[in-house]
Amino acid sequence: MDVFPTTATPAAVGPGAGIPLTQVAPYLHEVPTTFRADMRVPARVIADEALLQEMRRDHSLLQLVNVTTLPGILGAALGMPDMHEGYGFPVGGVAATVLPDGVISPGGIGFDINCGVRLLASELTRGQVAEHLEVIVHELSRSVPTGFGRGGRLHLSPEEMDQLLNEGVPFLVGAFGLGSVEDLAYLESGGRLPGASSGAVSVRARQRGQDQLGTLGSGNHFLEVQVVDEVFDARAAKAFGLFEGQVTVLIHTGSRGLGHQVCTDAVRVMDNAMQKYGIQVPDRQLACTPFSSKEGASYFAGMCAAANFAFCNRQVITQRARDVFARVLAGNGLPSRLRVVYDVAHNTAKLETHRGRKVCVHRKGATRAFGPSEEEVPAAYREVGQPVFIPGTMGTASFVLVGQDRAREVSFSSTCHGAGRSLSRSAAKRRVAGHELRHAMEKQGIVVRCASNAELAEEAPMAYKDVERVVDAVHQVGIAGKVARLRPLGVLKG
């Protein structure tokens, strides 16, 4: 069985096959408001023809059209090239609603609030690390718990949990010494969303997150030791401190059970409250209320708190990785420092100003992509723009991109967040044997640590779209530019 097959794109047959799309610019397609009477704005998709064919085979295009019906939506509902079917919103969907009375929808953020990606850069080359790689990955697997329900080693008192939810990574650095003040400058929003309130997080959500800090979880979460395989933009790569042959670490995880429960709680509340506000949506999974409402304000405060938890989760894992590199490499006379290049969030709602309006930008499986003119870009990157990380699939590649100013006018300063699924997890397991995938990766020289072959099969490369094609689409449309490609050397999978 070929577990790394060439992606084939047959003609679309599925729920999206009959939805009309007109190309309005290279890589940019539109479903006009004439398609359905309840559409308030067009639906726009960034993709090439092959990616569009994949989208037509599931409900993602229909879900994007449904998003256009949300009260207060501005401009268009946007689909990124990694778009696929999700809960309410498609994964890879972006929508901005005008404040104060435009809605906020938990389905437009997702259950894994602030699932995000952090890149750490070493000072080492692949050759320097090669003989130590097996030990490094093994020690990472011992230091970072993976899998459903696995707990971490950092236990907080109720008072400390409140502070962490309200203050994010700055509290974790100050109270526990997990990282440095320097790290904060290279985290989106400084590792803290200021709208957070621990009081908006239910007892059940706290219980589900109590022992989860410093854990990967399951599904598509991972920690990879990688190498910079190719540089496309030398200027941006230099600004980010990246060079060909360099060893890096990519962390992909989120808010674990705490964020899932925050979303679950809010969907239930908003589903019951919509009638009170006279809101009707074509899909109950789009449950929403005005941002300014009691329900909207409470959800936003809880969402921000869950996002802070996720930032802190990646911060704890960062320190575990630093400890491993120090333990394995320092004794061999090698530099072990791991520097935070950046930490980007997806699955968030952010308050921003676009087109002269203050809006709530829903990024569901989408990443912020600020260009160099944005003040929030770290000073060291101001001349090039914000780093963006697009993880691919095990055995293929991930990409470093840089946000472009054009993204502000095209996509509310947003871009894609990954390769995007093309097969469900159950379908992937029917098509791929986990032990064969493990063997194929090991033949490529990739060290693999995953407790279950079944979970490994769920994330097989054939279960995802072609990440090179996805990245090329956002590069060509001008919302995020290619900087470097990263190849996996060692994989620790959740």
pLDDT in tens, the chain (494 residues): 344 443 444 445 688 989 999 999 999 999 999 999 999 999 999 999 999 999 999 999 999 999 999 999 999 999 999 999 999 999 999 999 999 999 999 999 999 999 999 999 999 999 999 999 999 999 999 999 886 656 667 889 999 999 999 999 999 999 999 999 999 999 999 999 999 999 999 999 999 999 999 999 877 899 999 999 999 999 999 999 999 999 999 999 999 999 999 999 999 999 999 999 999 999 999 999 999 999 999 999 999 999 999 999 999 999 999 999 999 998 888 999 999 999 999 999 999 999 999 999 999 999 999 999 999 999 999 999 999 999 987 768 999 999 999 999 999 999 999 887 777 767 777 877 777 778 777 788 888 888 777 777 777 777 777 899 999 999 999 999 999 999 999 999 87
- 16 belongs to a structural domain: no
Tokens of 233: 């933009």
For the domain that residue 455 is a member of, what is the CATH number?
Answer: 3.90.1860.10
* Whole-prediction pTM: 0.94
Q: Which of 410, 446, 417, 424 is nearest to 110 (CA)?
A: 417
Q: What span, in angstroms and rounded, lies between the C-alpha atoms of 83 and 63?
A: 10
Instruction: Give the pLDDT confidence score for residue 424 in this predicted structure.
Output: 74
Supply the range of the domain harboring residue 405. Answer: 22-493
**71: how many CB neighbours lie within 10 A of its CB?**
18
- 456 belongs to a structural domain: yes
- 177 belongs to a structural domain: yes
Tokens of 389: 């990380």
Place of tokens 């723009």: 385
- 10 belongs to a structural domain: no
- 7 belongs to a structural domain: no
Element (H, E) at 19: none
Q: What share of the chain is helix, strand, coil (3-state, %, to 5)?
A: 40, 25, 35
- 449 belongs to a structural domain: yes
Place of tokens 């598509």: 220
Question: Which DSSP letter does residue 74 get?
Answer: -
- 13 belongs to a structural domain: no
Q: Is-contact 217 254, C-beta < 8 A?
A: yes
Which residues are paired to 350 by β-bridges? 361
Q: What span, in angstroms and rounded, lies between the C-alpha atoms of 486 and 308?
A: 27
Instruction: Give the pLDDT confidence score for residue 152 in this predicted structure.
Output: 64
CB-based contacts of 382: which residues, under 8 Å, 6+ apart?
A: 372
- 17 belongs to a structural domain: no
Instruction: Give the pLDDT confidence score for residue 123 in this predicted structure.
Output: 97
Q: Which of 248, 220, 317, 185 is nearest to 483 (CA)?
A: 248
Tokens of 110: 């997702």
Q: Is-contact 295 265, C-beta < 8 A?
A: no
| Backbone φ, ψ for residue 457 (5° rounding) | -65, -30
What are all long-range contacts of 19-27, with beta carbons under 8 Å and residues at least 24 apart?
Answer: 19/56, 19/61, 19/62, 19/65, 21/45, 21/52, 21/61, 25/477, 26/476, 26/477, 27/81, 27/473, 27/476, 27/477
Which active-site residues does the annotation give?
417
Q: Is-contact 455 434, C-beta < 8 A?
A: yes
Q: Is-contact 108 94, C-beta < 8 A?
A: no
Angle at CA 392, nearest 5°, toward 386 and 396?
A: 130
Which residues are paired to 22 by β-bridges? 30
Instruction: Give the pLDDT confidence score for residue 11 in this predicted structure.
Output: 47
CB-based contacts of 95: which residues, under 8 Å, 6+ apart?
A: 67, 70, 73, 77, 78, 89, 108, 361, 362
Tokens of 400: 């470093």
Instruction: Give the pLDDT confidence score for residue 1 in this predicted structure.
Output: 38
Instruction: Give the pLDDT confidence score for residue 451 in this predicted structure.
Output: 72
Sign of CA pseudo-dihedral 68, 72, 76, 78:
negative
Domain count, the chain: 1
Q: What span, in angstroms and rounded, lies between the C-alpha atoms of 340 and 179?
A: 10
Instruction: Give the pLDDT confidence score for residue 62 in this predicted structure.
Output: 97
